[in-house]
Amino acid sequence: MTKLIPKNHPRAHSLHVRERLVNAFDDGLVAKEGLMAHGRGEAFDYLIGEKTSKSAKSAIKAAAFALVSAKYPVISVNGNIAGLCPREIIELSKQNILKVLHKNGAKDILGVDRKNSTRISGLDSARRIVDKNGIYVADVVLVPLEDGDRTIALKKAGKKVITFDLNPLSRTAQTADITIVDNVVRGMRELIDTCVKMQKKNLRNVPFDNKKNLARSISEIRTHLSRRAKSA
């Protein structure tokens, strides 16, 4: 699909990202439900003003520290993530920050070899199947754009869970240890940069309270809404 998006269209950038996802759908990478999930993300991104908020930056710092200082950090890549930011995922793995990847063209791909598959409890679908060299042994798991059930199961399995979720009220957002309320295309870039900086400067952790930070995200949306309402 190569549609011409007018440069002066008020939502040109968002339309380009959308096109990327439609291409990923055409390539069989993204499901129909994934297209709808992307639409939900677009709406929430619109409501946070389509920029990385202060609360998202705090969460990114906490996430970078958790990833850099983890023993066995793992990133779980689903179709939407692979369609939206494949380069960033590979770059993140090349920084030696994340040793393991799922379902994408990076060097260490786990979760695709059946003889290594095992299960985590509390899930009744294909999503409970994880690689025993991957999520199963991980201490810190980055699961961007994940669903609530799986996030809860990962928490129960004792993992430290980091997620990207544009809806600060979702079960995933509320369950994870660190929730980055940001567009993953934007936020992943910031996460990589922050990880690189931390490795160089040996930055220390700062206290992070996910619930408080999520409340801040909600308050940012409310502020943005009233600002937009005034200019409408």
> Interface with a copy of itself by CB under 8 A: which residues?
10, 18, 21-22, 25, 32-33, 35-44, 46-47, 167, 169, 171, 174, 211, 214-215, 218-219, 221-222, 225-226, 228-229, 232
Alpha-carbon torsion, ordered 128, 131, 136, 138, to 10 deg: -130
CB 183, CB 45: distance < 8 Å: yes
Alpha-carbon torsion, ordered 28, 29, 31, 32, to 10 deg: -70
CB of 26 to a copy of itself, least distance (A): 8
CB of 164 to a copy of itself, least distance (A): 15
CB of 59 to a copy of itself, least distance (A): 16
CB of 187 to a copy of itself, least distance (A): 18
Residue 44 or 136 with smaller CB distance to a copy of itself: 44
Residue 17 or 63 with smaller CB distance to a copy of itself: 17
CB of 173 to a copy of itself, least distance (A): 9
Residue 37 or 74 with smaller CB distance to a copy of itself: 37
CB of 47 to a copy of itself, least distance (A): 8
Residue 24 or 141 with smaller CB distance to a copy of itself: 24
Residue 9 or 107 with smaller CB distance to a copy of itself: 9
Residue 33 or 209 with smaller CB distance to a copy of itself: 33
Give the integer Cα–Cα distance in Å for 30 and 27. Answer: 8
H-helix or E-strand spanning residue 164? strand 160-164
The CB-based long-range contact list for 206-209 (8 Å cut-off, 24+ gap) reads: 206/61, 206/62, 206/65, 208/58, 208/59, 208/61, 208/62, 208/178
